[in-house]
Amino acid sequence: MARTGAFGDGRRHTGRAAQDEVLDTVAPLTRARVADALLELEYPLFHDANGDLGVLWSQAAFHVYLLGDDESVLQVRGAWHRRLALERLGEVLALLDAWNRDYMGPKCYVRVLDDGFLSVVAETSTPLAAGVSDRQLMRLVERGVGHGLRVMRALEERYPDPAAHAPRDVL
């Protein structure tokens, strides 16, 4: 993300006002701009085997996708780092249904994986065909990751890691 002068009125600007002007300039959504936003936010960025961008946190891996024919929909999709037994499907669906009813976002759902375990996913999608400023893009990514982490923390509370606790039969 360029942080130098802007060309709005034909004069070169420097300092905070020019920085704000650049951050507020609306431009098309691109993968490069998303990567720049993640770097600017100092998020732990990675590229997966498909070339998609991602962010790692202790409780989740988030992917940032550009969807649609024109790649103008920004989607931040996080998957909880743990898997749940298929027998817990009813209770997990009830928990996520309550979440989706009580909170505006993110959208939460369960995927049944090929190995028969459950994966919990939280995602936010924002259509940006008209473009987005750098400042808006950073806020949308922050919102997607932050709201997703709220869901992941709720899952951690409901399903604590058994290895984090001492065994009951310790001598």
pLDDT of residue 170: 53
pLDDT of residue 1: 43
Tokens 């709720």 correspond to: 154
Q: Specify if 150 maps to a domain.
A: yes
CATH number, domain with residue 126: 3.30.1460.70
Which tokens sit at 144? 């997607």
Among residues 50, 60, 64, 51, the alpha carbon closest in space to that of 156 is found at 60
Q: Specify if 152 maps to a domain.
A: yes
Q: Specify if 10 maps to a domain.
A: no
Q: Specify if 170 maps to a domain.
A: no
Q: How far apart are CA 148 and CA 130, in angstroms?
A: 25
pLDDT of residue 167: 76
pLDDT of residue 12: 45
pLDDT of residue 7: 35
Q: Specify if 3 maps to a domain.
A: no
pLDDT of residue 64: 96
Other C-beta atoms within 10 Å of 124: how many?
A: 21
Q: How many domains does the chain have?
A: 1
pLDDT of residue 110: 97
pLDDT along the chain (171 residues), means of 10: 40 53 84 94 91 88 95 96 95 94 94 96 96 96 95 92 72 50
pLDDT of residue 38: 94
Q: Specify if 28 maps to a domain.
A: yes
Q: Specify if 155 maps to a domain.
A: yes
In which domain, by residue range, is 112 found? 16-159
Q: Specify if 168 maps to a domain.
A: no
Q: How far apart are CA 59 and CA 119, in angstroms?
A: 13
